[in-house]
Amino acid sequence: MRRIVLGAAFVLLVSGCSSNWGWYVVNPATKTGSINLQFLISGLYYTILLSFTAISISVVLGLLIALPGLSKNRYFRGFSRVYVETVRAVPILVLILWVYYGMPQLAGITMGVFWSGVVALAMSDSAFEAEIFRAGIQSIDKGQYEAAHTISLSYTDTMRFVILPQAIRRILPALGNQLVYMLKMSSLVSVIGMQELTRKANELVVTEYRPLEIYTVLVIEYLVLILIVSAGVRWLERRLQSD
């Protein structure tokens, strides 16, 4: 399916563009174009792996940051607020560079490009996830807490069995948006050498000297990927609403 979509797009581009443009470098009908396309698409694995690993960690971390923010203890609330405001204020690109180049000197921790990207993206996104969880939990009616209290549920069980299942249904669209956001922001990890979609495109531009054509393919790759993920999120929303 992916090759059919890309192939159709390239046929339109090749047939509709001036002969002075070098669409041959990404034309699947030629040997060179086919090899270049395979090279570009090979970065898809790391883009998906990086994004889904980072979003999985950020969701868990975001929840752990959100819960203290709902506490009656002002110190817990203060910790949550300081974390969220501090992390949100740092640009993702800066955070990626800081984790990759700064952590070895600061803490003696050396990580490869993949885990540096995961840590930076997860840390940055966790602040947004924390706010999403906080808003979702606060939207649950207080009567749910009272009902859980009447049957002697602990705070942990109340959150696990009563509050969070309802909150997740409400915040699922926001979580889906964050996943799409993560897929797009993963392109920034290319600056430290991560061999994902954007890095592959940059390397091919250096050898072929055809940035317009190659970056057009990159746009199509991200477009198709994000449309598929968005459709999956909408399907999951419908499933949860029907249960």
At 176-197, the pLDDT tens digits run 999 999 999 999 999 998 999 9
DSSP letter for each residue of the chain: -HHHHHHHHHHHHHHHS-TTS-GGGG-TTSHHHHHHHHHHHTTHHHHHHHHHHHHHHHHHHHHHHHHHHTSS-HHHHHHHHHHHHHHHHS-HHHHHHIIIIIHHHHHS----HHHHHHHHHHHHHHHHHHHHHHHHHHTS-HHHHHHHHHTT--HHHIIIIIIHHHHHHHHHHHHHHHHHHHHHHGGGGGGGT--SHHHHHHHHHHHH--HHHHHHHHHHHHHHHHHHHHHHHHHHHHHHHH-
Domain ranges of the chain: 2-43+201-242, 48-192
What's at 196, amino acid-wise? E
Tell me: the pLDDT tens digits for 195-235?
999 999 999 999 988 888 899 999 999 999 999 999 998 89
Is residue 140 within 8 A of residue 171, CB to CB? The reply is no
Q: What is the pTM of this model?
A: 0.85
pLDDT of residue 182: 93
Fold of domain 48-192? MetI-like fold (1.10.3720)
Which band of pLDDT confidence, cut at 50, 70 and 90, is reported for residue 77? very high
Dist CA 229 CA 225 (whole Å): 6
